[in-house]
Amino acid sequence: MIYFSLRSGGLKLIYFDNAATTAPDKAVISEAEDFLQNCFANPSSVHSLGYEAEMRLEKARKKVAAALGADPKQLFFTSGGTEANNTAVLGAAEAKKRRGKRVITQVTEHPSVADAFNELEKRGFEVIRVNVDKKGRVCEQELLSAVNEETTLVSVMNINNEFGTIQPVNELAEKVKKINPETIFHSDCVQAFGKHPINIKNLDLVTVSAHKIHALKGVGALYVKKGTLIKPLHFGGGQEGAFRPGTENTVGIVAFGAATELAAKQMQENFQKVTSVKNELLKITQMLDNVWINGDQEGSPYILNLGFEGVKGEVLVHALEDREIYCSTGSACSSRVKEKKKLADLLVDGTGSSALRIGIGKDNTEQQARQLTEALCEIVPMLRKYRPR
């Protein structure tokens, strides 16, 4: 159970930004502390302490791989989801560029994927960016129509980090491969891992991250299906099958394994709890006028993106912060990049600046949801009253 101390004024912190990061679980912290105190050696060292560190690293690898239904030998740890996505997109495209230079993605990818495709475009690749519908779902026919004999890579995220829209990536991969069996299919599954079942049968590359499931920051993993060629981005000691050389963040990896094991055991229970919290939050659409849902209401219960007419999302975030309630306007990875077009603009024309992303976690409660909706019912009318005309 995650716990928070009381803050100034006697208010207890309410954290609804779990799509950005999660608080480390108490059991995960204990696992990390034990490792730091008793097994701090370099896992590449040949002495017994190094061997023990290596064994704990490999045990964690098996736990993460098991949650994906993957062979542990095909799972490689990285410094996070961003590096895993960069490695997947750039590494796969570069490895297969002699076969073709057409690569395909969708317009609502995480910046670590979108910017990697921008880089490929600078390198002379033909980048196709497929549109999404009003719920954030990729236009399947447009995607499949873009696949030809020159297509070497397709990347579609499993669950959108802004709206929670769920994409049927395994089924999409199967359809892509019927057109061109040589096409590599990558999926960013960061928001799905540990929360939703993931079918990797037809996927060649899968990205996951530790800090989204109550582990530590600085660790991610990339699943690489056997036989899939990847050109590494880094060079050095040969760790992680030379996909990601350099001394491993062993304590972070061990914590990742512990969090994964816990998430797998609690997945169904957590899903039901989070769904109940989301249903409580959805009552705001009846409590306030001119409030809408951005994205797909039937998407992941872990993410709820709301729009409020006449209210700037950033102003609303800070007003909630004054009450020790923490949400966001969108992805923390792009929130400081002002020139980026907000994804909400793609879904609700002209209202992207009013978006509030609520990231629901396993430790949020229905009571906290009621506190958030009550706060919104007080704050939103006040902000509308004093908005510039």
Active-site residue list: 333
Q: How far is CA 209 from the centre of its chain?
A: 7
Residue 151 phi/psi, 5-degree rounding, is: -80, 120
CB atoms near residue 314 (< 10 Å) = 16
Pull the structure tokens for residue 301: 């219960």
Pull the structure tokens for residue 156: 């579609």
Rounded to an integer, what distance in angstroms lies between the CA atom of residue 358 and that of residue 117? 28
Edge-first strand listing for the sheet containing 151-155:
75-78, 220-224, 205-209, 184-188, 151-155, 102-106, 126-130
Inter-residue contact 284 to 306 (CB < 8 Å): yes
Pull the structure tokens for residue 93: 């495209």
Q: How far is CA 272 from the centre of its chain?
A: 20
Which residues have a Cβ under 8 Å from the Cβ of 155 and sit 6 or more positions away?
A: 88, 89, 103, 104, 105, 106, 109, 113, 117, 185, 186, 187, 188
Pull the structure tokens for residue 287: 């409590």
User: Which residue's structure tokens are 């519908």?
Assistant: 133
Identity of the residue numbered 284:
I
Residue 7 phi/psi, 5-degree rounding, is: -105, -175
Residue 88 phi/psi, 5-degree rounding, is: -65, -50
